[in-house]
Amino acid sequence: MFSVKPTKPTFKCYLPPVQTDVKKTFEQPIKKLEPKLLPGEIVVNEANFVRKCISAENSQDDLWGKLICTNFKVSFIPQDAPPKQKSLLSHLLLGEHDIPLTCLEQVVTVNDTKGKKKVLGSNQKLKFNPTELILYCKDLRIIRFCFDEAGPESAKKVCLAIAHYSHPADLQLLFGFEYQGRRYHDYKEKRVNGSTPRGGLQTPVFNCSSDWDREIKRTGASGWRVCSINENYDISPSLPEYIVVPGSLADQDLKHYSLFFADKRVPLWCWNHPNGSALVRMASIIDPLQQKKYEQRIFTAITKSHPQRSDVVRSDLDKYLPNIQDIQNAFVKIRQICVIDPFEESEERWLSSIENSRWLEYVRAFLKHSSEIVYQLDGKNASVILQEEEDRDLNCIVSSLVQLMLDPHYRSLVGFQSLVQKEWVMAGHPFLDRCNHLKRNDKEESPLFMLFLDCVWQVMNQYPAAFEFTETYLTVLSDSMWIPLFSTFLFNSPKHCSQLLMDFAKNKAIPQGEDQVMYFPPVWDWSQQFSTKDLTLFNNPMYVGKGAACVQNGEVKTFRRTKDLKCGNYLAGCFAASENTQKELHRNEASVSLIVGGKKTYSSTLRGPSGSLRNGLKGGEDTLTRRGSLVSELKPDFSPVKDESPSERFFRDWFARPLDQQGLLIPLLIPSHVALWKLFFLRWVPEACIPKGGPITAYHKLSQLVDEIETLQSQIRQYKGSSSGSTPLTSPSGPPSNQRRMYFKSSSPHDPPTPPDFLTSSFPFTPMGNLCRRSIHGTPISKFLNGARIWLSTENLTNDTV
């Protein structure tokens, strides 16, 4: 026996190695790819030699590593992790390549060789070996994994595991219940005497009467009282245990009235205007024969709670606004246009497609109706009842927007969070069904909270100095809906939350009577998710808050709220147009007629006397056309219109006054001012990512300027703080870096004047690896046909010339 020594290969390949290099990489001494697991998190399946697609164009930037499914997330661990990008918002509970299972919209497996594709559900079989896995996420990401080198069986098992664990059979199987139970006991030793004051949480959660008492006092609602008839949810399962009702209504009367309302939801107080008018929300009365009788009693009680005994106006939202199915359909369409359809296919009809989705039309509709309610409360001093069949969906949006426009408290960070807690969580918005966390009933799914956040962004976009928080905060808040670790977005009602958390406490041996906020906290304690440094991205450098400094006539003064304060805020002026330009813009474009009622069309129907000129439209009743308004003739002056209605005069007068950032805000409603929220809808789209561009460049400069001002102020305080007999500090320092409010620190003279390279219009997010559509080979058919038409027309023109 003899062995033949193998000859060396004579062929040399000059092509760059793709797959062969991968095996060599893994055959070398392999570093152990272990996931970072939270308390209670376990790995249920995994696959090695998986390729994560970074770009649809080529595979050069793709990452190789291990794909893992846990009982909380889908996690990818790269073999050779690239350096962390500075633009990424670092999540303390999720890695750069992690996706919570509740964030998965669809799990799609593909076999290219057999031409097969299947959407996987729970407990389903997969009859082919997948070569590719595509994850469509509810935060609009599209993540692709390829199994070129992975074993077929391990690829199939990990795909089935992801599909199964993303479709939990019961709410208590969501990872948040396991995690918070472990977390409670892990941190028990750190608590003083067994409890801490809600972990430092500043946002009121309105699960006790004292929170409602404080809100009554803050708004001056002297004619209203806290009522406890729903303690232990004895009356209505969808209302909070404590509600605010007219002081003239006795508990026994309320118990009797509740029998005639849908889900026994008696009218619920939301907010009081300083003039005494109240905003109230109410479900429909189920017995038509009793409707007039009990409505009159409720109206009378609300009238008595008003100091001037003003009239009560009712607004039936079901008649004037789109329903939850309309909103869901519009969101599906705009998501398809923004992230799913290849940009090459849709760029020529992109704007019209966005318009035809009706999403922005619905945003305008809710802002318009909310402005109408503002007129009733502020302009007519009338109390308003928002009526909806079940009082749990549309009422949440409108009541929140009305308070946001009228009350500057809700434009602060803590105030906004208390608004969401009060008008959404405790008012019984069915988050579990609308978010479809259990993926049971697609008909109940609807992005109402997302629509509300879009409406908030529209107002913020028009009045950037009026909000303490940023659009990054709104985007992060929307993403938090899909992280099942907090109580805010998990339940259908306060009772649903209370019952499940009581069972949870028993199962986890949590002492009876412990505050639920302690062992299953809401999302508002952001320190659980982000570092102190990253949380500064929530701070708006332009915010003109109560007591904030502003520049007036060249002098720095303290802002005080007055009715017609004209504060030439320097920082706001840096971001927006000059004050005179803005004022002229308001005068020319703001005369939007806002009359309660109207037809059920959502394209801002205007009513006015015949012959009047309204936003460039002549006639008695005109509807703002979607495209025509962009080029319509603007009103040449802002003089009073003959026979104008009281509401028209109210809005005309408001837009003619100097803007008070801490007063009433009314958004511009013509289509040219209602824009696509790009940071949310386009943050993952590579084609829309602008290097060193977008609003973030202005935010970067403003943050540096504010940080420099605050550093100088701190140094001045240190000088003044030294005793009169002692020598002042020779080189006072600014505040410590961990106490500075701005993400971007003031620059030194040696720093380059241009923005940093990592700044893009998607900041602090990145499209890299987060939106990888399947590549389209060849020229898209629409491009080809369009090119053919151009070529044919050119040929004909040439022939005609000859």
Among 13-17, 126-130, 165-169, 575-579, the minimum mean pLDDT is found in 575-579
Q: How far apart are CA 733 and CA 96, in angstroms?
A: 35
- pLDDT tens for 681-734 read 999 999 899 999 999 999 999 999 999 999 998 888 888 876 555 555 555 566
Among 137-146, 207-216, 754-763, the minimum mean pLDDT is found in 754-763
By the 10 Å C-beta count (0-12 exposed, 13-18 middle, 19+ buried), 587 is classed as: middle
Q: How far apart are CA 136 and CA 105, in angstroms?
A: 5
- pLDDT tens for 381-423 read 999 999 999 999 999 999 999 999 999 999 999 999 999 999 9
Give the residue among 328, 334, 267 at the shortest CA–CA distance from 303: 267
Query: What pLDDT, on a 0 to 100 scale, did the predictor assign at position 597?
Result: 38
Residue with the larger pLDDT of the pair 348 and 1: 348
Q: What does the longest C-alpha to C-alpha distance in the chain come to? A: 113
Tokens of 188: 């028990």
| Secondary structure class of 748 (helix, strand, coil) | coil
Instruction: Say whether pLDDT at 773 is over 90.
Output: no
Query: What pLDDT, on a 0 to 100 scale, did the predictor assign at position 189?
Result: 60
b/e code 206-219 from CB counts within 10 Å (16+ = b): bbebebbeebbeeb
Task: Decide: 618 and 611 in contact? Cβ < 8 Å.
Answer: yes
Identify any residues that bridge with 283 across adjacent strands, giving them in sequence order: 388
Give the residue among 28, 33, 666 at the shortest CA–CA distance from 373: 666
Residue 39: which residues within 8 A CB-CB, separation 6 or more?
179, 182, 183, 186
Instruction: Say whether pLDDT at 265 is over 80.
Output: yes
Percent of the chain residues topping a pLDDT of 90: 61
- The mean of the pLDDT values for the chain is 81
pTM of the model: 0.84
**Helix, strand, coil tally for the chain in percent (to 5):** 40, 15, 45
Q: How far apart are CA 720 and CA 503, in angstroms?
A: 57
Which region, left, alpha or beta, applies to residue 17 given φ > 0 means left and ψ of -120 to 50 means alpha?
A: beta
Q: What is the mean pLDDT of residues 465-473?
A: 97
Which amino acid appears at position 716 of this protein?
I
Query: What pLDDT, on a 0 to 100 scale, did the predictor assign at position 731?
Result: 55
Q: How far apart are CA 746 and CA 288, in angstroms?
A: 65
Task: Decide: 93 and 111 in contact? Cβ < 8 Å.
Answer: no
Per DSSP, the residues of 653-714 read HHHHSPP-TTS------SGGGS---HHHHSTT-GGG--BT-SHHHHHHHHHHHHHHHHHHHH
Residue 565: which residues within 8 A CB-CB, separation 6 or more?
559, 658, 660, 662, 663
| Secondary structure class of 272 (helix, strand, coil) | strand
Q: How far apart are CA 744 and CA 753, in angstroms?
A: 14
Instruction: Say whether pLDDT at 522 is over 70.
Output: yes
Q: How far apart are CA 682 and CA 475, in angstroms?
A: 12
Q: What is the mean pLDDT of residues 557-561?
A: 40
- In the block, tokens 């003899």 appear at 2
**SS3 sequence of 568-589:** CCHHHHHHCCCHHHHHHHHHHH
Helices 448-462 & 394-406 angle (0-180, nearest 10): 20
Q: Centre a 10 Å sphere on the Cβ of residue 672 and count the other Cβ atoms it contains.
A: 14
Query: What pLDDT, on a 0 to 100 scale, did the predictor assign at position 85?
Result: 60
Confidence of residue 642 (pLDDT cuts 50, 70, 90): low
**SS3 sequence of 410-479:** HHCHHHHHHHHHHHHHCCCCCHHHHHCCCCCCHHHCCCHHHHHHHHHHHHHHHCHHHCCECHHHHHHHHH
- pLDDT tens for 131-154 read 999 999 999 999 999 999 999 999
Residue with the larger pLDDT of the pair 322 and 114: 322
Among 73-87, 261-275, 330-344, the minimum mean pLDDT is found in 73-87
Radius of gyration of the chain (CA): 29
Instruction: Say whether pLDDT at 228 is over 90.
Output: yes
Residue 199: which residues within 8 A CB-CB, separation 6 or more?
517, 518, 521, 525
Task: Decide: 66 and 77 in contact? Cβ < 8 Å.
Answer: yes
Residue 132: which residues within 8 A CB-CB, separation 6 or more?
109, 110, 111, 112, 144, 145, 146, 147
Among 146-160, 464-478, 700-714, 742-756, the minimum mean pLDDT is found in 742-756
Q: Centre a 10 Å sphere on the Cβ of residue 720 and count the other Cβ atoms it contains.
A: 8
Query: What pLDDT, on a 0 to 100 scale, did the predictor assign at position 94?
Result: 95
Confidence of residue 190 (pLDDT cuts 50, 70, 90): low
Identify any residues that bridge with 315 across adjacent strands, giving them in sequence order: 386
Instruction: Say whether pLDDT at 557 is over 60.
Output: no
Task: Decide: 99 and 93 in contact? Cβ < 8 Å.
Answer: no
Q: How far apart are the first and last CA of the chain?
A: 85
Tokens of 736: 């410590």
Q: How far apart are CA 159 and CA 141, in angstroms?
A: 18
Task: Decide: 302 and 246 in contact? Cβ < 8 Å.
Answer: yes
Q: What is the mean pLDDT of residues 551-560?
A: 40
Cis peptide before 764 (omega within 30 of 0): yes
Q: How far apart are CA 407 and CA 271, in angstroms?
A: 9
b/e code 3-22 from CB counts within 10 Å (16+ = b): eeeeeeeeeeeeeeeeeeeb
| Angle ∠(795,798,802) on CA atoms, nearest 5 | 140
Confidence of residue 25 (pLDDT cuts 50, 70, 90): very low
Instruction: Say whether pLDDT at 308 is over 60.
Output: yes
Query: What pLDDT, on a 0 to 100 scale, did the predictor assign at position 201?
Result: 63
Tokens of 87: 């633009």
Task: Decide: 277 and 383 in contact? Cβ < 8 Å.
Answer: yes
Tokens of 798: 């040439």
Query: What pLDDT, on a 0 to 100 scale, did the predictor assign at position 559?
Result: 38
Q: What is the mean pLDDT of residues 92-105?
A: 95
Instruction: Say whether pLDDT at 634 is over 60.
Output: no
Query: What pLDDT, on a 0 to 100 scale, did the predictor assign at position 726?
Result: 57
Give the residue among 357, 355, 359, 337 at the shortest CA–CA distance from 346: 337
Query: What pLDDT, on a 0 to 100 scale, did the predictor assign at position 160?
Result: 96
Q: What is the dihedral of CA 560, 565, 571, 572, to 10 degrees?
A: 130
Task: Decide: 56 and 772 in contact? Cβ < 8 Å.
Answer: yes
